[in-house]
Amino acid sequence: MRIGELAKRAGTTTRALRFYESEGLLEARRTSNGYREYAEHDLRLVREIQSLQAVGLSLEDTRPFVACLRAGHESGDSCPDSREIYRRKLAEVDACLDRLNTVREFLVARLAFQDPCVVPEEIQCSS
């Protein structure tokens, strides 16, 4: 399939696909007239990249998943390097949740101190 068809089927732009190619994540074969030609497998790679970016992984983080699929694995997360990315990202998310929980506890405490009847739903005020 040509780049326009791949972009349409993946729900992205030809510009994004060219960028993935420039970053080494996607490899286009060239026809005799210079058109980019992609296979069904490339659609799978693009969808993997998109799904990983949608949950907050950087484009660089997607590399092990793409490599895993290119190596013939059915899933991009079945390789050790991919799982390491998951572990690192999970640690980042946990740290972020810890920070947010600290902020939340501070806000609940300040609200409770200033107006004991105006606090989040799990801290009910009996009046």
Query: What digits encode the pLDDT tens for the residues 9-64?
Result: 999 999 999 999 999 999 999 999 999 999 999 999 999 999 999 999 999 999 99
Residue corresponding to tokens 């572990």:
87
Extents of the domains making up the chain = 3-114
Residue corresponding to tokens 């998310």:
93
Fold for the domain defined by 3-114: Multidrug-efflux Transporter Regulator; Chain: A; Domain 2 (1.10.1660)
pLDDT above 80: residue 119: no
Burial 12-22 (b: 16+ CB within 10 A, else e): beeebbeebbe
Q: Is residue 44 packed enough to be buried (19+ CB in 10 Å), middle (13-18) or exposed (0-12)? A: middle
pTM assigned to the model: 0.79
Cα angle 30-33-35, degrees, rounded to a multiple of 5: 45
Distances (CA, A) of 45 to 33, 42, 51, 82, 89: 25, 5, 10, 14, 20
Q: What is the pLDDT of residue 81?
A: 97
The closest alpha carbon to 68, from 52, 55, 54, belongs to 52
